[in-house]
Structure 1
Amino acid sequence: MPPPVVAVPESAAAGRERFAAARAVIEEAIARRAFPGASWGVWHNGEIVALDAAGRFTYTENSPQVAPGTVFDLASVTKVVATTAAAMLLYDRGILHLDARLGDILPGFVIGMEPGSGKERVTLRMLLAHSSGLPGYARLFEKHATPEGMLRACLRMPLEAQPGERMEYSDLGFLLLGKAIEILSGDLLARFCTRAIFEPLGLDSMRFCPPEEWRPFIPPTEDDAVWRQRVIQGEVQDENCAALGGAAGHAGVFAHALDVLCFAGCVLAEGRSGRGQPLFRAETVRLFATRQTEPEGTSRALGWDTPTAPSSSGRYFSARSIGHLGYAGTSLWIDPERGAAVVLLTNRTWPDRASKEIQRVRPAFHDAVIEALTR
């Protein structure tokens, strides 16, 4: 069975004409081989005002065309639509405490630590704000053949800075945050997010580990000639997440643009779903969306990033905006002052990770969208 079919909402029917300049940015990027295809959408003042797509799954002429309902690997956008959202829910329920120490939840993080390492001071707040001192990345998958071995290696990872000393975006921090959420929720992260977030919001395409029968309908992210030695299609691209079984705190969620927009709509409505039911408390949404004051110079909120010039969000998103990028070429930006959200999904890593053109495309695309909204 293919992924759920998406009907373009009536409110977005005129979107192609209104957002023609934004579409032109995407079409030019496809012509320059920034990515073979893309889908995107715009939420404004409670409505979906654009939902569109261009290009193909790959650069071959007979490759399937990308549609508004095409499901993509969200990569690190997982950090906000799943892991951060799960942390917000558990915070609301009084189960997750931001200043709880990670070592109290995952004792393996501090057992056998070097004296003076500071690991005993790492909190969940620091993981969310990327200020734990953990390194940004490690190729754990190359040395550990099982999820258990991967987790042990991550727990034993030494800090590169004292907790709270600096901001360094860390996949490893969110990997451990996902494991802490499993302990606190009493459930697997993927199952908890599906039951408590995706299903209540009616996000039918959003899930970890999409069914195998969906794979032909999902654009491939990479022709992996190094580790898996095959085309990666319909399974998570991130190697550490793949070695953990395809679901982790830092990556693994797939979805189409409409479902990512509906999640953003819930955030813009300060926790209320499109069905009118509250998912998060309004004060929790505001708390997690507030830029942290420490470490000095950080751009991070709790789980989210915020604009710092030059930003992938372009020139017009307000200082109160929050967003996140995904390595495979995905992004979500939300501006509460404008009541707007913009999602862009691509597979910019096809056939390999060499192209950096997405760095120029994102701000130009977002500028064109906001200019269309304000005309």
Structure 2
Amino acid sequence: MRTVAATLAALVLLGGTAVAEPTGTGPAPASPGQAGPDHLGRARFDQPFTGFAPAGTVLRPGSPEQAGLARAPIEDALARITRWTEPDASGHPLFAGAVSLLAHNGTVVSTRATGYAVRYADGEGTELPVEARVPMRADTIFDMASVSKLFTSIVVMRQVEAGRVALDARVADYLPEFGVNGKADITVRQLLTHTSGLEPFLPLWRDWPDPVARIKAVMDVAPANPPGSAYVYSDLNLITLGVLVSRVTGSTLDELVRTGITAPLGMVDTGYNPPASKLDRIAATEYQATPPRGMVRGQVHDENAWSLGGVAGHAGVFSTAADMAVLGQTILNGGSYRGHRVLRPETVRQMLTNFNTGFPDDSHGLGFELDQRWYMGALSSQVTAGHTGYTGTTLVIDPRSRSVSILLTNRVHPSRNWGSINPARRALADGLATALAVRPRAGGQSWQATAAATGQTGTLTTPALTARAGVLRVGFDAFVDTDAGDVLTVQTSQDNGATWQPVGLRVSGEGAPGGVVTALTGHGHRAWWRVSAELPGNGLLRWQFTKGGSYAGRGVFVDDIQVRDGRGPVLDGERHPGALTASSWTPVSR
């Protein structure tokens, strides 16, 4: 029988011990919710799911329209990715080639291959003749680099489920040789959340002669920070965990990944040290002069993983977009896929719980990174999970929209110094998020702020308002999903716009700020708020959005604007939208 991953690739080409409840804080998927398409069939960004997808959800190919998504934002994002495979002002592309995959609610709505899996002959960027290049294809196999850490983390959590490992046990209980030089009290949880205090990296391949000596160097290293005192992303954490699971099970890490993850899930193109028979499908990575490896293709790019035989806890996994989509859907399903359970739902909840609340910019579950706007883009939320890889790979899993965004590139081909692909990572995630509707709360349209450049401001202004009796009061709905630094304010002017003063706002709804506030910001809650205020006098009223952050969320929307005095309505924005003057705001229907 053909595996799901293989079937998808073809189509796009056309038990044990219960684990403890999470001790970290922060949102995590709850029981299954009932969010979904609206009466027009539109998939909703503003009606997030609150739990796992049904365990029987299986990926199937389809169009954006079949999944309730708008096609245009997805196509725009894919066009940008294609342009990034073409030379720019630097004389070279951002990456030689890419394969992207977008899935929503079980439907794979896009898989696109662009550029080349092999394009260059050397580290200087000498291009191969066109006939010698290898085009990207949907089933191209990529070196996943640090995305491998997720596989190691899942293996660890499977051992937690089996009762062989405890999250808050000392690593030295399983690896006595690790408990030296100040590491005696480091826990398994601290390795998974990168709070162990270990430094990011050691040049194992260069400074130690063989795999045994290299692993001993990791066991011997002293912490760079007191354990638990800081978040420091470290390959050494996952190298250690790879050794730990091998020790407690008596099996190698690659065997544990194969038997516990890839074989049950049918991920036939995922694993370490791919066979020579698949070389023609593997994307090249970097031309390495030190060590003298030449153009690396079919071997792991990471020098330390290479020096450890291609199998290590931090790097070494190769995979395809279709296989990674299966892994993403497995997480969305609460740990199972096509009848094969690799994790319990409560374990997945733990893995998507933020245990790093003391380090606000470094939200992290058990192995999974959480809420990282810099590559998750507008799909980011407190439970959006994923990981990136140094070679140019990205996996984003968004439980609140039951979506998966995958961008696989060979951005280090032929050089690691050609630039960051983070704009492309965000662009793809933003395209999928924007394809999801934010439905107006009243009537057929709402107002969306369109100021996009940092420092740009947009305003939505009423005509002069005069109370006939009593005081003026304003009420409106607001959807706010912004980057840090983006601000929505409501302001009044009693001198015909010469000066403006902020209005104190009271806000209700999921994720709303408490008390009286003068600015609205935030992301991740994905819910409309109801906002009200008492105005200090007659005059003009405006909504001002200022773009202050570097990234973009789903955006800011305002709807159902109502201004009343003691006698009733003074301005009804639903009945008379033309009364409002818009600058960098536009009426939208989704």
Say which of 342, 345, 348 aligns to 2:405: 342
Paired position in structure 1 for 2:193: 129
Give the greater-gyration-radius structure (CA): 2
Q: Could you tell me how far apart the structure 1 residues matched to 2:214 and 2:64 are? A: 45
Q: Could you tell me how far apart the structure 2 residues matched to 1:47 and 1:186 are? A: 39
1:11-90 mapped onto 2 (5 Å cutoff): 11-12=60-61, 14=63, 19-31=74-86, 32=88, 33-59=93-119, 60=128, 61-62=130-131, 63-80=133-150, 82-90=151-159
Q: Which moved more, 1:82-91 or 1:119-128?
A: 82-91
| Aligned-residue CA RMSD (Å) | 1.9
Per-residue Cα deviation, 1:137-193 (whole angstroms, up to 9, x for no partner): 111110122110110111111100111000000001100111101112220000111
What SS does the corresponding residue of 1:254 show, helix, strand or coil?
strand
1:4–1:337 distance in 2 versus 1, CA, 3 Å: closer
Question: What is the count of residue pairs matched by the alignment?
Answer: 365
Paired position in structure 1 for 2:257: 193
What SS does the corresponding residue of 2:110 show, helix, strand or coil?
strand
The structural deviation recorded for 1:47 is: 2.3
Which amino acid in 2 is paired with 1:124?
Answer: V
Q: Could you tell me how far apart the structure 1 residues matched to 2:145 and 2:436 are? A: 28
1:169-318 mapped onto 2 (5 Å cutoff): 169-273=233-337, 275-297=338-360, 298-309=362-373, 311-318=374-381
Q: Could you tell me how far apart the structure 2 residues matched to 1:370 and 1:185 are? A: 41
Kept after mapping to 2: 8 A contact 1:324/1:333: yes
Per-residue Cα deviation, 1:261-312 (whole angstroms, up to 9, x for no partner): 0011000000111x12322110100011111145433311110111244x21
Q: Could you tell me how far apart the structure 2 residues matched to 1:320 and 1:294 are? A: 13
Per-residue Cα deviation, 1:321-354 (whole angstroms, up to 9, x for no partner): 0110000000101010100011110000011111
The structural deviation recorded for 1:229 is: 3.4
Q: Could you tell me how far apart the structure 2 residues matched to 1:165 and 1:370 are? A: 35
What SS does the corresponding residue of 1:68 show, helix, strand or coil?
coil
Kept after mapping to 2: 8 A contact 1:71/1:255: yes
Per-residue Cα deviation, 1:70-96 (whole angstroms, up to 9, x for no partner): 11000000011x101111211121222
1:308–1:4 distance in 2 versus 1, CA, 3 Å: closer
Q: Could you tell me how far apart the structure 1 residues matched to 2:342 and 2:391 are? A: 28
What SS does the corresponding residue of 1:290 show, helix, strand or coil?
coil
Q: Which moved more, 1:288-297 or 1:89-98?
A: 288-297
Which amino acid in 1 is paired with 2:108?
Answer: I
Which amino acid in 1 is paired with 2:199?
Answer: P
Is it true that 1:141 corresponds to 2:190 in the alignment?
Answer: no
Which amino acid in 2 is paired with 1:144?
Answer: W
The structural deviation recorded for 1:216 is: 2.9
The structural deviation recorded for 1:228 is: 2.8
Kept after mapping to 1: 8 A contact 2:6/2:322: no
Q: Could you tell me how far apart the structure 1 residues matched to 2:187 and 2:171 are? A: 5
Paired position in structure 2 for 1:104: 173
Kept after mapping to 1: 8 A contact 2:265/2:340: no
Q: Could you tell me how far apart the structure 1 residues matched to 2:215 and 2:233 are? A: 19
Q: Which moved more, 1:212-221 or 1:3-12?
A: 3-12
What SS does the corresponding residue of 1:49 show, helix, strand or coil?
strand
Q: Could you tell me how far apart the structure 1 residues matched to 2:222 and 2:358 are? A: 20
Is it true that 1:158 corresponds to 2:222 in the alignment?
Answer: yes
Higher relative CO (Cα under 8 Å, sequence separation at least 6) belongs to 1
Which amino acid in 2 is paired with 1:24?
Answer: A
Q: Which moved more, 1:280-289 or 1:50-59?
A: 50-59
What SS does the corresponding residue of 2:81 show, helix, strand or coil?
helix
Q: Could you tell me how far apart the structure 2 residues matched to 1:191 and 1:87 are? A: 13
Q: Which runs of 4+ in 1 moved over 4 A?
A: 15-18
Q: Could you tell me how far apart the structure 2 residues matched to 1:357 and 1:107 are? A: 40
TM-score (norm 1): 0.93
Is it true that 1:354 corresponds to 2:397 in the alignment?
Answer: no
Paired position in structure 1 for 2:163: 94
Q: Could you tell me how far apart the structure 1 residues matched to 2:359 and 2:84 are? A: 36
What SS does the corresponding residue of 2:378 show, helix, strand or coil?
coil
What SS does the corresponding residue of 2:336 show, helix, strand or coil?
coil
Kept after mapping to 2: 8 A contact 1:131/1:295: no
The structural deviation recorded for 1:373 is: 3.9
Kept after mapping to 1: 8 A contact 2:193/2:356: no
1:77–1:183 distance in 2 versus 1, CA, 3 Å: same
Q: Which runs of 5+ in 1 are unaligned?
A: none
Q: Could you tell me how far apart the structure 2 residues matched to 1:213 and 1:201 are? A: 22
Kept after mapping to 1: 8 A contact 2:141/2:281: yes
Q: Which moved more, 1:365-374 or 1:233-242?
A: 365-374
What SS does the corresponding residue of 1:40 show, helix, strand or coil?
strand
Q: Could you tell me how far apart the structure 1 residues matched to 2:336 and 2:62 are? A: 25
TM-score (norm 2): 0.60
Q: Could you tell me how far apart the structure 2 residues matched to 1:129 and 1:29 are? A: 33
Kept after mapping to 2: 8 A contact 1:312/1:363: yes
1:36–1:135 distance in 2 versus 1, CA, 3 Å: same
Which amino acid in 1 is paired with 2:332?
Answer: L
Q: Could you tell me how far apart the structure 1 residues matched to 2:291 and 2:170 are? A: 35
> More helix by proportion, 1 or 2?
1
Q: Could you tell me how far apart the structure 2 residues matched to 1:206 and 1:74 are? A: 10
Q: Could you tell me how far apart the structure 1 residues matched to 2:300 and 2:340 are? A: 31
Which amino acid in 2 is paired with 1:318?
Answer: S
Which amino acid in 1 is paired with 2:136?
Answer: V
> More strand by proportion, 1 or 2?
2
**In percent, how many aligned pairs have the same letter?**
33
Per-residue Cα deviation, 1:222-278 (whole angstroms, up to 9, x for no partner): 0001113311001100000000000110000001100000011000000111x1232
Q: Could you tell me how far apart the structure 2 residues matched to 1:42 and 1:268 are? A: 14
1:86–1:271 distance in 2 versus 1, CA, 3 Å: same
